[in-house]
Amino acid sequence: MTTDELEQLLAQQPVAVLHRLARGRVHRHFRAGKRRLIELLLQHSSQNLAGLESDLQTLIAERQPPAQPARSPGRAAGRAPAPPSKQPLPGGGEPGIGEPAVSLAAWLEGLGVPAPQPFVPDPWQNEALRALDDSDVVVSVPTGSGKTYVAVEAARRAMEDNRTVIYTSPLKALSNTKFTEFSRIFGSDKVGILTGDRQENGQAPLLIMTTEILRNLLYDAASGEIDVRLDTLGLVILDESQYLADPERGVVWEETIIFCPSQARLLLLSASIGNPQDIADWLSSIRTTPCRLVRHSKRTVPLRAGYLHPNGKLVPLFKTAAIPHGHPTHLHPEAKRLFIEYEEETLPSGRPRR
């Protein structure tokens, strides 16, 4: 929207709307007449055109009868193929000329269900599986990137070689979920579970347990009480291994890794952590097999951050649609303004926040 268009649009509005729009933007706006207000708002628009536009649209939409919610900016990019809006106001879809911050519509773009695609493993998933042939592997990838696929494929390959696989997770609830999931994939006779209060199918080739149980098994084996399952043990998968840093339970992961039989491969699956290389180096230093780190920081499904004001207004949180890694201060000017407004209104003045 050019300045001229904006000026026309503002001139069409009643002065009450202009005053509401000027709130928080123009100092002492209540003293200005309509012409002066438009002037001041246009001056302000040089700083933050996007915010002004989207606010204006919300206000206009509020004044319209609610029977036509199709004008809300989110709908323009929604999954339904909405007919192009014939209103004089552009949907805020095109970022203005020289506008620094992303508009809401651009931010919401791409929302929806992707077309079904055949599953193709990501390169890092293949890399991890290949590396597992001749070394231990530490995987550090963001939440929701598909670590489970690696676990399932690795377990399948090990079981094809008639080796036992142990899969551990930190929480009993997660163990139960995985038990259900793996039983569905491999068949219920192939999968067993051992937790503090549940033991099922304990001789199955794929055993799911909490890490504490595995640690106890390894201790018993070390003191001579031989467990046949450990002799054929080919692969140990430690899920959520960022629990290594848990103040109370982290030690269990260390014990498990230290006492893990040398013939078994180790696969550590972890969320993004700062020093995965350290863990890989540590494994290399204490085990006979080398250890490879598979690291991947890009999310499969891109993430965007938004800011929802208590009055229901949604704006992007950052200037760019994607999250600006390494630049926490690149906030969307509108989000910043709304948050400051929120803090001023909700917090007693002179009191420190929190």
Partner 1 sequence: MPPSIHPVDLIASLRQKHLTPAIVFLTSRRACDEAMESFDHADIVLPPARQDAIAAALERVIAQYPSVAEHPLIPTVQRIGVAAHHAGHLPSWKIAIEELMRQGCLDAVFATTTLAAGVDFPARTVVITQSSIRKARDFTDLTVGEVQQIAGRAGRRGKDQVGFAVVTPSPYIDLGVLTKGLTGHPESIDSQFAISYAMVLNLLKAHPHEQIQGILAKSFAQFQLNRRAESLERKLDTLHVQMEPFGPRVCTDWITQWQTFDQVRRQRPQRHQVHRQESPELSARFHFMTPGRVVGLTRGRGIVLRQYRSKGQKNPMISVLRPDGAVTECPATTVADIFDRVFDCEETSAFPWCSAAAFDELCYQLTELPTRLPILPILVPKDSEPLSDAIVQSMGDFPCPTCPSRPACQKDFTIAHRLRQEQHRHIKSIQALRASLWHRFQERVEVLQKFGYLSPSSQLTEDGEWARLIRIDHSLLITELIRAEAFTGADPALLTGIMASIAHDDDRPGAFPRISTGLSSLLGQVRKLAESLSPYEDPPLLRADVAALAERWIADPNLTWIGLCRLTTMAEGDIYRLLARTLEFLSQIHTLRATHPGLADSASKAIALIRRGVLEELP
| 81 Cβ neighbours under 8 A, 6+ residues apart | none
Mark residue 190 as left, alpha or beta (left: phi above 0; alpha: psi -120 to 50; beta: remaining). alpha
Among the listed residues 346, 331, 345, the one whose alpha carbon sits nearest the alpha carbon of residue 51:
331
Which of the ranges 124-132, 152-160, 266-274, 288-296 carries the binding residues for partner 1, by CB under 8 A? 266-274
Per CB under 8 A, does 97 bind partner 1?
no
> Under rule CB under 8 A, which residues in 141-180 are in contact with partner 1?
142-144, 146, 170-174, 176-177, 179-180
Per CB under 8 A, does 94 bind partner 1?
no
Fill in the DSSP letter of residue 260. Answer: S
**What are the E-state strand segments in 18-74?**
none
Residue 15 or 245 with smaller CB distance to partner 1: 245
Per CB under 8 A, does 342 bind partner 1?
yes
Q: How far apart (Å, rounded) are the C-alpha atoms in residues 20 and 23?
A: 5
Total residues contacting partner 1 by CB under 8 A comes to 95
Residue 84 or 224 with smaller CB distance to partner 1: 224
Among the listed residues 288, 301, 269, 282, the one whose alpha carbon sits nearest the alpha carbon of residue 153:
269
Per CB under 8 A, does 79 bind partner 1?
yes
> Under rule CB under 8 A, which residues in 3-62 are in contact with partner 1?
none
Q: How far is the CB of 148 from partner 1 (least distance, A)?
A: 10
Helix or strand (DSSP H, E) at 291: strand 291-295
Fill in the DSSP letter of residue 170. Answer: S
Instruction: Tell me which of 33, 69, 187, 261 binds partner 1, using CB under 8 A.
Output: 69
Q: How far is the CB of 159 from partner 1 (least distance, A)?
A: 22
Which of the ranges 7-15, 87-95, 105-113, 227-235 carries the binding residues for partner 1, by CB under 8 A? 105-113
Amino acid at 240: E
> Under rule CB under 8 A, which residues in 181-220 are in contact with partner 1?
193, 196-198, 212, 215-216, 219
Residue 98 or 310 with smaller CB distance to partner 1: 310
What is the β-pairing status of strands 191-195 and 233-238? unpaired
Per CB under 8 A, does 288 bind partner 1?
no
| 59 Cβ neighbours under 8 A, 6+ residues apart | 13, 17, 20, 21
Residue 38 or 191 with smaller CB distance to partner 1: 191
Instruction: Tell me which of 84, 162, 345, 350 binds partner 1, using CB under 8 A.
Output: 345
Instruction: Tell me which of 94, 245, 263, 290 binds partner 1, using CB under 8 A.
Output: 245
Answer whether 192's CB lies under 8 Å from 207's CB.
yes
Dmax over Cα atoms in the chain, in whole Å? 91
Q: How far is the CB of 2 from partner 1 (least distance, A)?
A: 27
